[in-house]
Structure 1
């Protein structure tokens, strides 16, 4: 297990001898993230970095358990001097603070009501030789197991003619995850595993490629969970361990029910915001001419 050192934060060759000047904002954000990791004394176990190609496009497909997963997954690409362009919710790009950074880092916004544009942008990035990061589960898994995967990652790999890099990240959910308060306890362990590239075969359908990707992701996540170096501090600290390993996290079925409830709640809140905006807009309209 390795912790980030201050030497890592200022290392000159972190992104290779001749990094692209256009990626200065991304490099700055990476170094700021390393500062945070150092302050929190996060303990990293990152394996499989050699599977990230030193050049050319690839889809990095990982499970999703925390709000910080993308920052941890990016560490696996650094030894090969690669930057990962993650697909993220369009709302993040519209935020006054995060939006400019997301755009400067060339991440890809995803509007769930109009996903074709994001798909096309991702395929272009892959064909241009970028590594595109995707969470095929689309949302954080509340069971901390691999739930149903969206086919977009496999479709992109087939259309762009690039491999899928299956990955698993574990431990970040103890810091920040869905429906839990942020916990900045120092010394948390974080495991990141990247598996061997899964190359689309001639004539292989996205569904078949997705099935192979799921098997690989599940195997990597199981390895990450079973080799994780830390254990719950007591019975009430077993919330972050999946049910099949003796934890108190919801089962896959229970988590699916929660997802349905969450989606219904978001729809209600969205309608309320729309009605509020309509009322405010109506109040601001000038009176009609006589």
Structure 2
């Protein structure tokens, strides 16, 4: 397919990263296959995660097609960009369409990016994930590649002001060993394994991060930060979902 939008967007992002002197560290990029389909599954802590998760695939000269909620495609600014980069819209009321589009991309040899937690983790830990990534990989006969991001939440995350022009922020991107689920496997057990791998990668990213302050909002509670605990974050997500439903009903 023609790539008119994606390369210029990548170029602009790289220029901005250099201007802001972001300290981006990527480990394990060689685990992204140079050819063929793959499902890349990342944790989700920032509205910018698709940029940085996709950054991990650049050394392999791959462009990742991310699955993102339909509302992003409906936006007057982000929508044309998302469509131009051939990302995949997800309408949660009609998930079969997104699954079909992802399968088509995988079978065509594309890398499909998935944020299996569905929403941003306010606790900055890995939330429970569903087995959709595993099912897609099995159906398409492709590997699953776990990825952990850390530092991106400092730029723009849920419930915090945007700091898109903040300088010198370290960003860590870790790519894990690929998984190769197959037909006949227990999909739920494979999903638990995937979440465990993601959590281990994230923990390593957090503990090796260049900055280890105490009492800051962007650190998880178990590392001395003031982010919500997973339980508190779940309650906040539930309250937010109820508010959105009430607005829709109104």
Place the TM-score, normalised by the shorter chain, in its bin. Answer: over 0.9
SS of the residue aligned with 2:106? helix
Higher-RCO chain (CA-CA 8 Å, sequence separation at least 6): 2
Q: 2:212 & 2:168 partners in 1: Cα distance? A: 13
Q: Structure 2 stretches of 5 or more lacking a match?
A: none
Specify the alignment match of 1:143 in structure 2: 123
SS of the residue aligned with 2:56? helix
Contact 1:48–1:195 under 8 Å retained in 2:
yes
Contact 1:51–1:197 under 8 Å retained in 2:
yes
Q: 2:97 & 2:86 partners in 1: Cα distance? A: 15
Map residues 48-59 of structure 1 onto 2, 5 A cutoff. 48-59=28-39
SS of the residue aligned with 1:79? helix
Specify the alignment match of 2:222 in structure 1: 244
Q: Is structure 2 residue 207 aligned with structure 1 residue 226? A: yes
Of 115, 133, 149 in structure 1, the residue corresponding to residue 95 of structure 2 is: 115
Specify the alignment match of 1:262 in structure 2: 240
Structure number with bigger Rg: 1
1:34 positional shift: 1.2
Q: Is structure 2 residue 38 aligned with structure 1 residue 70? A: no
Give the TM-score normalised by the residue count of structure 2.
0.96
Q: Please provide the CA RMSD for this pair.
A: 1.2
Q: Deviations over 1:211-261 (max 9, x none)?
A: 1111110110011000000133x64xx111111111111111110000001
1:98 positional shift: 1.3
Map residues 9-88 of structure 1 onto 2, 5 A cutoff. 22-88=2-68
Q: Deviations over 1:119-143 (max 9, x none)?
A: 1110111111000000000000000
1:202 positional shift: 4.6
Contact 1:158–1:206 under 8 Å retained in 2:
no
Q: 1:202 & 1:270 partners in 2: Cα distance? A: 40
Contact 2:138–2:183 under 8 Å retained in 1:
no
Give the TM-score normalised by the residue count of structure 1.
0.83
Q: Structure 1 stretches of 5 or more lacking a match?
A: 1-19, 273-290
The structure where helix makes up a greater share of residues is: 1
Structure 1's consecutive aligned runs of 4 or more residues displaced over 6 angstroms after TM superposition are none
